[in-house]
Amino acid sequence: MSLSPLLQLRSPAALAAPVLLCLGGCGDEAAQPPDAPVVQSPRPTPPADPGPPAPRAGLGDAAVAAFLARPAGREDFVVKFGEPFLGFETRGKDMLVSDHTSGERFATIVPVERRRQGSGWAFSGMIENPWGERYDFAVTVEPGECDDEFSGEITDFKAGFTSPGRNRPHPGCARIVGEPQRWPGDFEP
Q: What is the pTM of this model?
A: 0.67
Give the pLDDT band (50/70/90) at residue 31.
low
pLDDT in tens, 60-99: 999 999 999 999 999 999 999 987 688 999 999 999 999 8
138: β partners = 124, 162
**Amino acid letter, 9:** L
The yes-or-no verdict on residue 49 having pLDDT over 80 is no
Average pLDDT over residues 98-116: 91
Predicted confidence at residue 9, as pLDDT, reads 45
